[in-house]
Amino acid sequence: MEQVERIDTVKQYNDWIGVDTLHPLVSVINFNEIPTVQHFRRYMGIYAVFMKNIKCGDIMYGCQPYDYEDGTLVFVSPGQVYGIDSKGKVTKPSGYALVFHPDLIAGTHLGKMIKDYSFFSYEVNEALHLSKKERETIADCFEKIAAEIDQNIDKHSKTLIVSNIELFLNYCMRFYDRQFITRGNVNKDILMRFEALLQDYFKSGKTQTLGLPSVAYCADMLHLSANYFGDLIKKETGHTALDFIQSRLIEEAKVKIFEVNMSFGEIAYQLGFKYQQHFTRLFKQKTGVTPNEYRSLN
């Protein structure tokens, strides 16, 4: 099995790529200044954002390959395995990389909010595809971060560097929102498949063997990361994926409640609840009445 080396510091990444380390916790690499890149796979203990302007090999994320398109941003968070397979060829890269250590943002506003940038947990095939104008904006962000790193380190350096990184990530959030909109047909297809998946889940009796359907299960069955799936459903419907699942669950419950020969315990079991009181609590939360009251009213 191929050995996966570790990149736990910014200096380790800089040394591998062949650039000087100007700041111990953050670096911007302009790939236009790097001569060549060959095959590599690394365990990343740091945050990294890569933008490549030309095709330079297939990205390997975990064990899956992804055909890297021009003008694509990929986000890597600590704990992920990342690499590029150039198929044995020496390639000339073009673009940028931003790498920063978690210690850089510790105790900052960005450090508290970093989990809100859910694209750090997207799969590589859910990368951000940039328009020409967006690429210019992102390149400008890279340059501004690099310019601040290039300054002599003083008491303002960390604040200004982190602020520029946060601005950069906020632009990425905006462009992802745009991507969800422009990929509307794809999103609607996923939504239809999501509905069909839930319908099959309830009809096939999976609730009794697997329990209640989870967001993670549905995302996996649709070949999406849980974060990307959740963001997509929220953008498309205005509700969370969990809300969508629970609404579908209540619809199934209402049908079964009309079957007066079924006890509420049996209904809860058939729907995948471990305990009847959990079913009763969710039903009242969603409808305003208990299952018994709903049966009486109807």
Cα 239 to chain centroid, rounded: 18
How would DSSP label each residue in 266-277?
Answer: HHHHHHT-SSHH
CA distances from 154 to 105, 158, 282 (A): 16, 8, 54
Euclidean distance between CA atoms 70 and 43, whole angstroms: 24
pLDDT tens digits along 206-218: 998 999 999 999 9
- DSSP E strand boundaries for 8-161: 26-30, 40-44, 47-52, 58-61, 64-67, 72-76, 80-85, 95-100, 128-129
Reported residue count of the chain is 298
Strand order across the beta sheet in which 40-44 lies: 5-7, 40-44, 80-85, 58-61, 64-67
Report the DSSP pairing between strands 72-76 and 128-129: antiparallel
Instruction: List the one residue out of 149, 145, 127 whose CA is nearest residue 52.
Output: 127
pLDDT in tens, 107-127: 999 999 999 999 998 887 788
- How much of the chain, in percent, has pLDDT values that exceed 90? 64
Residue 92 has pLDDT above 90, yes or no: no
Spatial separation of the C-alpha atoms in residues 27 and 142, rounded to whole Å: 10
Q: What is the pLDDT of residue 86?
A: 56
Q: pLDDT band at residue 58, thresholds of 50, 70 and 90?
A: very low
Point out the least confidently predicted range of 6-20, 82-96, 182-196, 247-261.
82-96
Tokens linked to 190:
């996923």
Q: Encode burial over 59-94: b for 16+ CB neighbours within 10 A, e otherwise.
A: bbbeeeebebeebbbbbbbeebebbbbbeeeebebb
H helix or E strand, kind and range, residue 5: strand 5-7
Helix (H), strand (E) at residue 189: helix 184-203
Which DSSP helix (H) or strand (E) runs through 7? strand 5-7
Q: Is the pLDDT of residue 169 over 70?
A: yes
Most confidently modeled of 52-56, 88-92, 186-190, 201-205?
Answer: 201-205
State the average pLDDT over residues 68-95: 73
